């Protein structure tokens, strides 16, 4: 079973949307498991404080290294082979390639940051790899963790329905996906391209490839350049 452990100040946010649809069914079927750990359980004092003011001054608060480390140490076996990720806007951008690699491991450990961020020393001290879901700032790592988990779980064997292998999808092979159509054949005067109704599978495959290349060239020149590199 692919096992996810999430460290958060808001365990109520999980499984959230991952309790529904494909991911939810897979959770019920134990294709994957989800454990949440409330970092506050290791908070300090009567108020279970988890944060403190930034050294050197400045706005906001910082998640304390000692508190987060205590939570991690009380939960994880040191020999746990799963990658330990910290959701962070300054992390490595999450890609489909990374998602596929993570889905092929035994699971993942995710730390959700809050406030201005996490004390740098616990990132190094507990070997956390920073991962970003995009160039924007969320108020906490939980939505980012849900995004990462959703992307991984749908790739686990048996989670997607038959015929939905995911191999043709956007970003697999660095191409965006070709356009889709379904019935009715004519909708508000917009027709399904004739080639898709031809039954000629080789022609259809060629058309889809051309469309995928055209879309990638137009919308994601960064991906297109990567494809053109020798």
Judged by the rule CB under 6 A, the positions of this chain that interact with ligand SAM are 87-90, 112-114, 116-118, 132-134, 136-141, 144
Q: How many CA atoms lie within 13 A of 148 on its CB side?
A: 31
Q: Which is nearer to ligand SAM, 26 or 123 (CB)?
A: 123
CA distances (Å), origin 228, targets 40, 174, 175, 217: 49, 11, 12, 11
What's the min distance (Å) between Cβ of 131 and ligand SAM? 7
Q: Which is nearer to ligand SAM, 137 or 167 (CB)?
A: 137
Strand partners, 62: 52
CA distances (Å), origin 224, targets 86, 135, 216: 30, 20, 6
What's the min distance (Å) between Cβ of 171 and ligand SAM? 17
DSSP class of residue 46 equals T
- CA dist 98 and 66 (Å) reads 29
What's the min distance (Å) between Cβ of 9 and ligand SAM? 10
Residue with tokens 């000692």: 66
- CA dist 162 and 164 (Å) reads 5
What's the min distance (Å) between Cβ of 114 and ligand SAM? 5
Q: Which is nearer to ligand SAM, 128 or 212 (CB)?
A: 128
Token pair of 201 as six digits: 């599978």
Q: Which is nearer to ligand SAM, 5 or 216 (CB)?
A: 5
Closest-CB residue for ligand SAM? Answer: 113
What's the min distance (Å) between Cβ of 190 and ligand SAM? 36
Q: Are 109 and 129 in contact (CB under 8 A)?
A: no
Q: Which is nearer to ligand SAM, 139 or 182 (CB)?
A: 139
Q: Are strands 129-132 and 84-93 parallel, antiparallel or unpaired?
A: parallel
Q: Which is nearer to ligand SAM, 79 or 139 (CB)?
A: 139
Token pair of 209 as six digits: 């490839």
What's the min distance (Å) between Cβ of 148 and ligand SAM? 8
Q: Which is nearer to ligand SAM, 27 or 122 (CB)?
A: 122
What's the min distance (Å) between Cβ of 40 and ligand SAM? 16
- CA dist 187 and 139 (Å) reads 42
């Amino acid at each position: 079973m692919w096992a996810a452990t999430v460290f958060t100040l808001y365990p109520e946010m999980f499984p959230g949307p991952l309790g529904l649809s494909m991911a939810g069914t897979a959770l019920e079927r134990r294709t994957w498991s989800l454990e949440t750990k409330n970092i506050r359980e290791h908070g300090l004092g009567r108020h279970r404080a988890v944060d403190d003011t930034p050294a050197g001054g400045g706005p906001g608060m910082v998640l304390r290294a000692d508190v987060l480390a205590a939570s991690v140490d009380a939960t994880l076996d040191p020999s746990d082979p799963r990658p330990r990720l910290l959701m962070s806007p300054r992390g490595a951008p999450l890609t489909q390639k990374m998602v596929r690699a993570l889905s092929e491991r035994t699971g993942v450990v995710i730390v959700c940051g809050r406030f201005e961020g996490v004390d740098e020393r616990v990132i190094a001290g507990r070997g956390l790899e920073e991962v970003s879901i995009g160039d924007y700032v969320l108020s906490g790592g939980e939505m980012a963790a849900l995004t990462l988990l959703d992307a991984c779980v749908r790739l686990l064997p048996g989670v997607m329905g038959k015929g939905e292998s995911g191999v043709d999808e956007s970003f697999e092979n660095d191409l965006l996906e070709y356009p889709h159509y379904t019935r009715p054949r004519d909708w508000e005067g917009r027709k399904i391209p004739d080639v898709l109704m031809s039954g000629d599978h080789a022609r259809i495959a060629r058309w889809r490839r051309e469309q995928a290349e055209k879309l990638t060239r137009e919308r994601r020149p960064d991906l297109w350049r990567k494809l053109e590199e020798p």
